[in-house]
């Protein structure tokens, strides 16, 4: 069986073999049209057992465990090249499942390739350390893989998230079991095929499709899984973190956000408006770092709001694959219903819909899960729509009076993923950046991201940092090694506690 040749249901990947589960399936649906893409096989606890067993065996093989870094790097480079070659296929699969516009999906396929290239380079160049010794011995730190890593990903940017986990985990010498979101299973399966094509030994990259309650849970609870890397919602992350604590295994959690985007009165308002719009409406607001709480200094509040409403009205909503579409549907009909509940709660709590707040009209939108770019005003920082992550195209605008008021409001959130500051005053930019409780701060820009800069959240937005060199170390455990240069004299002989 192959991924390409089978029609129904789509198989998953265990030990280099494509396995189908005809009795238990779920549907991949196109949110732009409401049409079925394909049924997909659901992996159950038995499949998880088989995947973990194969990953455990593959990870322990000397051919993988002892693979020299430059050889491992070549496989990662090969994967990067194949991702470029099959970039359109990957982007299309993602677009058909999460509804993001073509240009964004293409950019994410490009970013996935860049991530593999980056970790190939890190793999080949990263060394171990000789640490300062306190006696006649050599002390070293070496870094070793955990063995079997479970990588669990969300639907909003699957290509980026999956590359961000697989590439460093493989570079670190692990075997990976990838469980993509049940909303977006297909691009992950193609990544599995690309891994085999690039020369990964069978079992080193398994891909299991299924939901969180069955497949994800079985994976996190499996005794053979030695580390979990999770990106998704805070509630799921908390449940996974608790299970990992019980099992005493390390976990990396990249979770939700409610990021403050801040505009001071001396800011370049034109530039800020463009960045605010991209920051919340790109990807229909389905970005963990979406700037969903907009704080505007009161003296420029009305002026900025007028500009914002005028520009947001011009956003071209449309089918994701139609040239010129700037915003597609949200990822599913259930997700749109959840967004609508937030709008109702905002109105009930005294908020005003300043733009959008409803589904668009027109025949082209009837079958898809579309929602208009929405701006809400008149809410306090305590309102439900301001406190909770909506994960849709909904911006809440709040005025502030001075820097102290701003910092207090911005930090009054359980989340702490990202923030943005617009000001011409560099001293204030520095002060506020240091005072914000977020893992990422953008100054006079927003949503600029580089694979070489560590990424992750404060507070309920997560634990651990992906990307950068530390993003590879995330998938390794350090080992201290002491090597005596004088075996007849033990170092503790030199301590005040006595002689050997
Ligand atoms: P989700 O938490 O519902 O699901 C994420 C993944 O976890 C899916 O694969 C799901 O099947 C699985 N899952 C759910 N419960 C599980 C459990 N108990 N055990 C094991 N697996 C489980 O999230 P979502 O709706 O797919 O994605 C949206 C969320 O992801 C948002 O909150 C967003 O902010 C967050 N996100 C965070 C980042 C980041 O880097 N911080 C990036 C992208 C998305």
**495 occurs within a structural domain:** no
- The per-residue pLDDT for 308 is 98
* Residue 499: per-residue pLDDT: 46
> Pairing state of beta strands 415-416 and 352-355?
unpaired
Give the sheet arrangement for strand 251-254, strand by strand: 17-19, 12-14, 205-207, 175-179, 148-152, 227-231, 251-254, 462-463
Q: Of the residues 100, 288, 389, 396, which is catalytic?
A: 288
Written in H, E and C, the secondary structure of 440-466 is EEEECCCCCCCCCCCECCEECCEECCE
Distance, CA 219 to ligand 1 centroid (Å)?
15
- My answer on whether 201 and 162 are in the same domain is yes
CB 208 within 8 A of CB 39: no
Q: What is the pLDDT of residue 120?
A: 98
Q: In the prediction, which pLDDT does 497 show? A: 57
Which atom of ligand 1 is the closest one to the Cα of 211? 11
> Is there a contact between 273 and 304 (Cβ–Cβ < 8 Å)?
yes
Q: Is 270 a catalytic residue?
A: no
Looking at the fold, whether 169 and 298 belong to one and the same domain comes out as no
CATH of the domain at 278: 3.40.309.10
Continuous segment of H or E residues that includes residue 335: helix 333-348
Could you confirm whether 65 is annotated as catalytic? no
On whether residue 171 sits in a domain, the answer given is yes
- Clarify whether residues 207 and 299 are in a common domain: no
Q: How far is the CA of 188 from the centre of ligand 1 (A)?
A: 15
Low-confidence ranges of the chain (pLDDT < 70): 5-7, 490-500
125 falls within a domain: yes
Do residues 272 and 230 both lie within one domain? no
Q: What is the CB < 6 Å shell around ligand 1?
A: 152-157, 161, 179, 181-182, 211-212, 216-217, 220, 231-233, 236, 239-240, 254-257, 288, 389, 391, 417, 457, 462
Tokens of 236: 């799921």
* 209 and 147 assigned to the same domain: yes
Q: Pick the closest to residue 196 from 3, 2, 16 (CA basis).
A: 16
Phi, psi dihedrals of residue 259, rounded to the nearest 5°: -75, 130
Considering the candidates 104, 254, 282, 389, report the single residue annotated as catalytic.
Answer: 254
**Are both 45 and 122 inside the same structural domain?**
yes
Distance 213 CA to ligand 1 centre (A): 12
Query: Is 316 found in the same domain as 220?
Result: no
Q: Give backbone dihedrals phi and psi of 420, rounded to 5 degrees, phi first.
A: -135, 145
Give the pLDDT confidence score for residue 2 in this predicted structure: 79
User: Tell me, what's the pLDDT at 6?
Assistant: 55
Q: 4 in a domain, yes or no?
A: no
- Confidence at residue 495, expressed as pLDDT on a 0 to 100 scale: 58
Residue 386 lies in a domain: yes
Q: Whose CA is nearest to atom 17 of ligand 1?
A: 212
Tell me, yes or no, whether 197 and 282 share the same domain.
no
- The percent of the chain in helix, strand and coil, each rounded to the nearest 5, is 40, 20, 40
Nearest-angstrom CA–CA distance, 387 and 399 = 16
Task: Indicate the number of domains in the chain.
Answer: 2
Strands across the sheet containing 293-297: 352-355, 374-377, 394-400, 293-297, 260-263, 418-422, 440-443
Q: For residue 404, with 0-12 CB atoms within 10 Å meaning exposed, 13-18 middle and 19 or more buried, which class applies?
A: exposed
What is the model's pLDDT at position 500?
A: 40
Q: Among the atoms of ligand 1, which is closest to the Cα of residue 457?
A: 41
User: Which residue's alpha carbon is at the smallest distance from atom 20 of ligand 1?
Assistant: 216
Q: Is residue 6 part of a domain?
A: no
The CA dihedral of 350, 351, 356, 359, to the nearest 10 degrees, is: -50
Is the same domain home to 271 and 364? yes
Q: Are 244 and 271 part of one and the same domain?
A: no
Cα(236) to centroid(ligand 1), Å: 6
Atom of ligand 1 nearest to the CA of 182: 11
Domain enclosing residue 353, as ranges: 260-443
Residue 343 lies in a domain: yes
Distance 156 CA to ligand 1 centre (A): 9
Same domain, 225 and 193: yes
**Distance of alpha carbon 329 from alpha carbon 331, whole angstroms:** 6
| Domain presence at residue 450 | no
């Amino acid at each position: 069986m192959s991924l390409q040749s089978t029609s129904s249901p789509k198989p998953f990947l265990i030990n280099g073999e494509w396995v189908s589960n005809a009795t238990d399936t779920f549907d991949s649906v196109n949110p732009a049209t409401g049409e079925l893409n394909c049924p997909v096989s659901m992996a159950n606890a038995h499949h998880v057992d088989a995947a973990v067993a194969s990953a455990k065996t593959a990870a322990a093989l000397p051919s993988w465990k002892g693979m020299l870094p430059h050889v491992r790097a070549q496989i990662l480079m090969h994967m990067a090249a194949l991702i470029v070659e099959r970039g359109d296929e990957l982007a299309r699969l993602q677009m058909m499942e999460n509804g993001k516009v073509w240009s964004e999906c293409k950019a994410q396929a490009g970013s996935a390739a860049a991530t593999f290239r980056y970790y190939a380079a890190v793999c080949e160049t990263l060394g171990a350390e000789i640490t300062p010794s306190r006696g006649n011995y050599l002390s070293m730190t070496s870094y070793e893989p955990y063995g079997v890593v479970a990588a669990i990903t969300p639907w909003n940017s699957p290509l980026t998230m999956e590359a961000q986990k697989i590439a460093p985990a493989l570079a670190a010498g692990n075997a990976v079991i990838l469980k993509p979101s049940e909303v977006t299973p297909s691009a992950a399966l193609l990544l599995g095929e690309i891994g085999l094509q690039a020369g990964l030994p069978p079992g080193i990259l398994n891909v299991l499709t299924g939901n969180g309650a069955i497949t994800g849970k079985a994976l996190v609870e499996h005794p053979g899984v030695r580390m979990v890397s999770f990106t998704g919602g805070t509630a799921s992350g908390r449940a996974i973190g608790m299970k990992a604590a019980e099992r005493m295994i390390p976990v990396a959690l990249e979770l939700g956000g409610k990021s403050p985007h801040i505009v001071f009165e001396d800011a370049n308002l034109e530039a800020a408006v463009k960045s605010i719009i991209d920051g919340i409406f790109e990807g229909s607001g389905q970005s963990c770092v979406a700037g969903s709480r907009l704080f505007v200094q009161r003296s420029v509040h009305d002026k900025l709001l007028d500009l914002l409403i005028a520009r947001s009205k011009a956003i071209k909503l449309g089918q994701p694959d139609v040239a010129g579409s700037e915003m597609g549907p949200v990822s599913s009909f259930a997700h749109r219903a959840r967004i609508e509940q937030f709008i109702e709660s905002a109105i009930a709590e005294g908020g005003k819909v300043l733009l959008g707040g409803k589904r668009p009209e027109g025949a082209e939108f009837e079958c898809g899960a579309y929602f208009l770019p929405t701006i809400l005003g008149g809410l306090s920082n305590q309102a439900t729509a301001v406190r909770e992550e909506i994960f849709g195209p909904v911006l809440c605008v709040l005025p502030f009076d001075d820097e102290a008021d701003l910092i207090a409001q911005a930090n009054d959130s359980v989340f702490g993923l990202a923030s943005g500051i617009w000001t011409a005053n560099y001293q204030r930019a520095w002060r506020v950046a240091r005072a914000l409780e977020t893992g990422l701060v953008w100054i006079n820009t927003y949503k600029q991201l580089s694979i070489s800069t560590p990424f992750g959240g404060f507070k309920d937005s997560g634990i651990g940092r992906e990307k950068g060199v530390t993003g590879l170390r995330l998938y390794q455990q350090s080992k201290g090694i002491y090597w005596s240069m004088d075996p007849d004299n033990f170092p503790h002989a030199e301590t005040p506690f006595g002689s050997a």
